[in-house]
Structures are given as structure tokens and as C-alpha cells.
């Protein structure tokens, strides 16, 4: 069920990227897609009623393996968030420069490249 | 000493060092940048001597830790990447003077190089994604380096499409992880053969074809390339067209489809046929659109789309000859297309235009640019004895060998088209009457001409790679590491 939610989110993002005419909205769409994937990765490692993947001294290994969630996707998500942040920073700064050059955020008016 | 981690660490470290130490004297940046790429080139040559090698980062063994894997294919790609990168940095010494911030240029360039070397070396699929993002984010920034209106537009377009493709690749990686419970490429390979290939697995394959296909600019996903590649500064166009689309697009295809999933498995669902159709579409579309371009660099960009099609067609045959032809064409296209983009940069540097209708008779005014441009044209058009002839010959032979007569004829026809658009360009740019306003044009500065000459010599003599002795060092290990397919798994997991 939660997987479907993350796919709905992905599709919303894709819809936003493909149909919106405003550069800022396209950037927002990209971010929605990125977060849908992050949610998906977290859900891969999640289990119902799981505990945080930290093993305290009084915890037996069997108990830990049985109840903890998978920590690896969480590490992936941290990396993916950082990458997403890099892309966001670059795209926003690019959007500012585009606004300086063209005086608009509308991609219908930003089309000098053809052929 | 183990040099594998240095292939990534050296450009990464140098990329941060250059803006810090060379604020006062701009020559320091030139010297450091060129030293970095030269030492990378020497190291990548040295790697052929060591043979297969695995480096465990932090000493963690394969299923747990990240490892760097050097085999024939990695060594082959590293040689191409670092060879072209060195020549391009040499060229940038003079060319980048017209731009304001050379320090940031070298910094971004070396970051991109670190990303490409990392993609080729890594043995971990998420690590591959991270290196891919390092390379591609610096590429977005470098495409918009001039911050003119068109450059920003191209860069933004590239950024949006590139990010969408990266997201789909990451989704594929997530699916693979949930299928196999591991991220190590070799471990994925050993576990995927035990799992019956269900819908999820084929979904991953499709996601990868979309994601890496967009990075490689295969035809339905090629829209960004003809904008992004011409808009970048010329040395960056050379790297983007010569290296980036191959290391981020073709290499993951080869590695994942041959070594990890195994080609026989993919053939059950016609994946190679799909790739062949995409390749064929790329060849034809690229060649036809290149015919009508008046912008030098835009024409070369469409030609890149066409040439990626050749490579994809050859490697999706799955025969040893096909793989050999694909790898050879990768090398030939990297050097020839880099040479052509450097020539275009040299023309733009002196003429300040890229429109071929405004050029003419430049052979006598810019002889070195003219000669190197012609060598590049002839090589990619497939004129013997230049390297491009051999690679195209092998592609056609491989198609005939696999019994695809129709595809072979199609390839020959597209080659004729290729010759057509190069001849058209050659007539407008280097031959014909000299225009009046071009009387006082001079040859480009010394570093630019020197690097073009080196690259033309390489392009002319690249055919020697087929001499049995050299071939057994450079080309054969790469072919073998793909033919043996899932041997890669036992090599990593066993060692």
C-alpha cells in the first residue's frame, strides 16, 4: 500500500516536470520525484513495528535481527538527499541566471535553440 | 603500490586544491591541471601492466564493502578517458583564456573526470550511481559555463532530463536491492541467477535502458544532446561527446548487461533486439539531422548521436566480433570526435562564429586546424586507412557474421550519409573561395594547435591497435572480460 503511495508521488512529480511551463515549478517537480524515490528506498528496508537499527549492549543478536529495520537503505537515502540538494542548488541558481537573461520563467519564451 | 584508488582520488583532490592555491597566479592552475591529467594518463597506461586487480576500500570484503575492480574493460575505458582528458586540458590552456574563471573550470573539469574514472572502476551499483551523479552535475555546470542565454537554456534542459533519468536509475537500483538484498555488482550477479526473472526484474531492465539510454543519448532520449554539447566551451564539448556519453551510457550497459545479468538471460525477452532498434534509429536520425545543420558544433553533436547508434548496434549482437567492433568504435569515436570539437573550438576562437555559411577557404589561413579537421572528418566518414574505417568495417563484418544482412546494408547506407554531411561541411569550411572578411585570420595559439596535432596523430595511427601484439594488450582483455560474462562475479567474489 505504501509503495503505491510513493509511485503516486513519483507520477505527480513526473506530471509536474512534463506539463508545467514555469521553470520554478519544474524544479519543484524534480524534487517531488526525488522524494518519492527516497520514500521508496526507506520502505524497502522498513518492517512493521521495527526498531531503530542500533544494537545496545543488553540486546541479543537474534532479537536485533528479528526486529530492527534494514539500515542500508537509510544510508542510501542520506546520500541521495545530498545529491538531490546539489541538483536543487544548481538548478535554482541556474533559474536565477535564466531570469536575468530572459526576464521570464516561462519556458515557452525560452526557446532560442532549435534544429 | 596500488594505484586504483588514486585514479579517483587524484582528480578529486586536485579539483579542490586548484581553486585554493592558484588565486594569485593563474598559470598555477594550468600547470596543476595538466600535471593531474598527465599523471592520470601515465597511471592508466601502467594499469595495463598489472592486469586484473581488486581494491577493497577500507579492507571490507566484497558483499559488505565497496570495491574498485580493474579488469580488461575498465582498463580500456580508463585509457580512453584519461587520454582524451589530458589532450583536452592541454587545449584549455589557451582556449579558456577568453572565459573569466579558469580556476573553477579546472575544478569542475577534474570533478567530472573523477566521476568518470569512478564509474568505470567501481564494483558497487550505488557507488556507480554516486560517481555518475558527480560527473553529470559537473557536466550541467560546465555546459552553462559561459552563462549566456542559450548556454543556460541548454544546461537547464540537460539538467531536467538528466535528473529524471538519474531518478529512474535510482529506482532501478532500489528494485534490484529489494530483489537481491545487496548492492555489490558481483553479488547481485550471483544472486540474480538464483531468482526466477519475474516482472520486477524486467522492470529494472527497462528502467536501466531508459536511464542509461538517456545518458548515452540513444534516439528517443536524445533531445538534450544537440543543445547541450554545442553550448559548452569547445574542450568540454569534446569531453561530453567523446567520453561522457560513453562512460555514463555505454559502459554501464556493457557492465550490467553482460557481466551482471548475463546476456543469455536478456535474450529470452528480446532486450538485445530492442537495443538494436534503438541503435538503428539513433544512427539514421543522427545522420539525417546532421545533414541539414549550419552550425559546426551542432552538426558534430548530431553525428555523435549517429555514432552512439553504431556502438549500440554492434554490442547488442553479443558476438565476440560485435563486442570488439563496439569497443574499437568507442575508442575511434572518442578520439575523432574530440578532435573535431577541438577543431570547431579553434574555428570559433578565431572567427567568433559557428555558422559554416560564414566560413570558407580556411585551409590556407589555418593549416593545422584544417588538416586536423580533415583527419577527423575522414576518420569518422570511414576512409581507409584511418581508424574509423577499421571500426566501421568490423561493425559491418560483425553484422554479416551474425547473419543480419539487412542491418549490414542499413549500416553501409548510413555510412554513406555520414560521408555526405562531412563533405558538405568540408566544402563550406576549409575549401572554396576565401571570404573577404576572413583575410586577416591567423592560426590558433600554440597549445591549441599542439593538442590538435597530437590528437590527429593518434587518430591516424589508431589502426595499429589491431596489430596482434598491441591488440592482445589493449583490446582483447576488454573483449574477453565481456565474453566471459559472469566470470566477473567469480573474480570479485573469489578474490
Of B315, B444, B295, B300, give the one whose Cα is nearest residue B391: B315
Cell readout for B120 is: 568505470
User: Does residue B53 come out as left (phi exceeding 0), alpha (psi in the -120 to 50 range) or beta?
Assistant: beta
The pLDDT assigned to B108 comes to: 93
Domains of chain A with CATH codes:
2-102 (1.10.287.3510)
Chain B residues interacting with chain A (CB cutoff of 8 angstroms)? 126, 130, 133, 137, 140-141, 144, 147-150, 152-157, 159-160, 163-164, 167, 170-171, 174, 177-178, 183, 226-227, 231, 289, 292-293, 295, 298
- Mean pLDDT across chain B: 88
pLDDT tens digits, A75-112: 999 999 999 999 999 999 999 999 998 888 888 887 77
Mean pLDDT of B299-312: 92
Count of alpha carbons within 13 angstroms of residue B463, beta-carbon side: 16
The ipTM (two decimal places) reads 0.94
State percent of chain B over pLDDT 90: 44
User: What's the pLDDT band for A3 if we cut at 50, 70, 90?
Assistant: confident
In 3D space, the residue among B301, B297, B310, B240 whose CA is nearest the CA of residue B84 turns out to be B240
The answer to whether the beta carbons of residues B229 and B285 sit under 8 Å apart is no
Higher pLDDT pick, A26 / B353 = A26
* pLDDT, tens only, A36-80: 999 999 988 888 877 888 888 888 888 888 888 888 899 999 999
Q: Could you tell me which residues come within 8 angstroms of residue B317 by beta carbon, excluding any fewer than 6 positions away?
A: B272, B276, B323, B398, B399, B402, B404
> A28 in contact with B at a CB cutoff of 8 Å?
no
Contact call for B153 and A98, based on CB within 8 A: yes
For position A39, what pLDDT does the model report?
A: 92
- B144 in Cβ contact with A93 (< 8 Å): no
Shortest CA gap A44–chain B (Å):
6
The answer on pLDDT for B53 being more than 70 is: yes
pLDDT-derived band at A114, boundaries 50, 70, 90: low
In the prediction, which pLDDT does B466 show? Answer: 82
Chain A residue at shortest CA distance from B173: A41
B297 pLDDT exceeds 60? yes
Mean pLDDT over B261-265 rounds to 77
- Checking if the pLDDT of B196 tops 80, the result is no
| Beta-sheet strands, E only, within B71-228 | none
pLDDT exceeds cutoff 70 at B1: no
Of the partner residues B152, B157, B171, the one whose CB lies closest to the CB of residue A37: B171
pLDDT at B197: 67
Q: How confident is the model at residue B36 (pLDDT cuts 50, 70, 90)?
A: very high
Specify burial of residue B432 (Cβ count, 10 A radius: 0-12, 13-18, 19+). Answer: middle
Instruction: Examine the pLDDT at A115 and tell me if it is beyond 60.
Output: no
User: A13: pLDDT confidence band, cut at 50, 70 and 90?
Assistant: very high
Give B160 to chain A, closest Cα distance, Å: 7
What pLDDT does B220 receive? 86
pLDDT tens track for B419-459: 888 888 888 888 877 777 777 778 888 889 999 999 999 98
Decide which of B346 and B100 is more confident: B346
Residue-by-residue DSSP string for B370-411:
HHHHHHHHHHHHT-TTSHHHHHHHHHHHHHHHTT-HHHHHHH
For position B75, what pLDDT does the model report?
92
Q: Is the distance from CB of B109 to CB of B236 less than 8 angstroms?
A: yes
Residue B100 confidence (pLDDT) above 80: no
Residue B359 zone, left/alpha/beta (φ > 0; ψ -120 to 50; rest):
beta
Q: Do B183 and B256 form a contact (C-beta atoms < 8 A)?
A: no
Q: Give the tens place of pLDDT for each residue, B156-185.
A: 999 999 999 999 999 999 999 988 888 888
* A78 shares contact with chain B (CB less than 8 Å): no
* Mean pLDDT of the region B215-228: 89
A49-53, B279-283, B332-336, B348-352: the lowest-pLDDT one: A49-53
Amino acid at each position: 500500500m505504501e509503495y503505491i503511495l510513493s509511485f503516486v508521488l513519483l507520477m505527480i512529480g513526473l506530471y509536474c516536470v512534463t506539463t508545467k511551463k514555469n521553470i520554478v515549478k519544474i524544479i519543484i517537480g524534480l524534487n517531488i520525484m526525488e522524494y518519492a524515490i527516497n520514500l521508496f528506498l526507506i520502505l524497502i528496508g522498513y518492517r512493521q513495528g521495527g526498531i531503530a537499527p542500533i544494537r545496545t549492549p543488553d540486546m541479543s543478536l537474534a532479537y536485533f535481527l528479528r526486529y530492527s529495520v534494514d539500515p542500508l537503505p537509510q544510508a542510501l537515502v542520506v546520500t541521495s538527499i545530498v545529491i538531490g540538494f546539489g541538483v536543487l542548488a544548481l538548478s535554482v541558481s541556474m533559474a536565477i541566471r535564466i531570469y536575468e537573461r530572459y526576464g521570464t520563467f516561462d519556458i515557452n519564451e525560452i526557446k532560442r535553440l532549435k534544429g | 603500490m596500488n594505484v586504483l584508488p588514486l585514479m579517483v582520488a587524484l582528480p578529486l583532490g586536485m579539483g579542490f586544491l586548484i581553486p585554493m592555491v592558484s588565486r594569485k597566479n593563474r598559470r598555477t592552475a594550468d600547470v596543476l591541471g595538466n600535471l593531474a591529467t598527465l599523471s592520470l594518463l601515465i597511471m592508466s597506461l601502467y594499469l595495463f601492466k598489472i592486469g586484473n586487480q581488486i581494491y577493497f576500500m577500507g579492507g571490507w570484503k566484497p558483499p559488505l564493502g565497496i570495491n574498485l575492480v580493474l579488469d580488461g574493460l575498465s582498463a580500456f575505458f580508463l585509457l580512453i578517458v584519461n587520454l582524451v582528458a589530458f589532450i583536452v586540458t592541454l587545449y584549455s590552456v589557451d582556449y579558456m583564456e577568453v572565459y573569466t574563471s579558469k580556476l573553477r573550470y579546472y575544478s569542475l573539469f577534474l570533478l567530472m573526470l573523477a566521476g568518470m574514472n569512478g564509474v568505470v572502476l567501481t564494483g558497487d551499483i550505488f557507488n556507480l550511481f554516486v560517481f555518475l551523479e558527480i560527473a553529470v552535475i559537473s557536466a550541467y555546470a560546465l555546459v552553462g559555463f559561459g552563462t549566456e542565454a542559450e548556454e543556460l537554456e541548454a544546461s537547464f534542459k540537460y539538467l531536467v532530463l538528466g535528473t529524471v533519468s538519474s531518478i529512474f536509475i535510482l529506482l532501478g537500483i532500489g528494485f534490484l536491492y529489494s530483489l537481491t538484498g545487496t548492492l555489490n555488482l558481483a553479488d547481485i550477479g550471483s544472486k540474480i541467477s538464483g531468482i526466477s526473472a519475474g516482472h520486477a526484474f524486467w522492470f529494472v531492465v527497462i528502467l536501466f535502458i531508459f536511464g542509461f539510454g538517456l545518458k548515452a543519448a540513444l534516439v528517443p532520449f536524445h533531445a538534450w544532446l544537440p543543445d547541450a554539447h554545442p553550448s559548452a566551451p569547445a574542450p568540454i564539448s569534446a569531453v561530453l561527446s567523446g567520453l561522457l556519453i560513453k562512460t555514463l551510457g555505454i559502459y554501464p550497459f556493457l557492465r550490467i548487461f553482460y557481466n551482471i545479468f548475463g546476456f543469455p538471460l536478456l535474450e529470452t525477452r528480446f532486450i538485445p533486439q530492442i537495443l538494436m532498434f534503438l541503435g538503428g534509429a539513433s544512427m539514421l536520425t543522427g545522420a539525417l539531422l546532421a545533414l541539414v545543420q549550419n552550425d559546426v558544433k551542432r552538426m558534430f553533436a548530431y553525428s555523435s548521436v549517429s555514432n552512439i547508434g553504431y556502438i549500440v548496434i554492434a554490442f547488442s549482437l553479443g558476438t565476440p566480433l560485435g563486442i570488439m567492433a563496439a569497443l574499437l568504435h568507442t575508442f575511434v569515436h572518442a578520439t575523432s570526435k574530440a578532435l573535431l570539437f577541438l577543431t570547431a573550438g579553434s574555428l570559433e576562437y578565431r572567427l567568433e562564429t559557428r555558422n559554416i555559411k560564414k566560413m570558407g577557404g580556411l585551409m590556407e589561413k589555418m593549416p593545422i586546424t584544417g588538416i586536423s579537421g580533415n583527419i577527423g572528418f575522414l576518420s569518422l566518414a570511414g576512409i581507409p586507412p584511418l581508424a574509423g574505417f577499421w571500426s566501421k568495417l568490423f561493425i559491418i563484418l560483425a553484422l554479416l557474421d551474425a547473419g543480419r544482412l539487412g542491418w549490414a546494408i542499413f549500416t553501409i547506407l548510413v555510412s554513406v550519409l555520414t560521408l555526405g554531411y562531412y563533405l558538405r561541411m568540408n566544402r563550406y569550411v576549409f575549401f572554396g573561395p576565401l571570404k573577404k572578411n576572413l583575410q586577416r585570420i591567423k592560426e590558433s595559439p600554440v597549445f591549441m594547435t599542439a593538442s590538435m596535432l597530437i590528437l590527429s596523430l593518434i587518430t591516424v595511427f589508431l589502426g595499429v591497435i589491431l596489430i596482434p601484439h598491441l591488440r592482445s594488450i589493449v583490446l582483447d582483455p576488454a573483449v574477453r572480460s565481456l565474453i566471459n560474462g559472469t566470470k566477473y562475479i567469480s573474480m570479485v567474489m573469489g578474490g
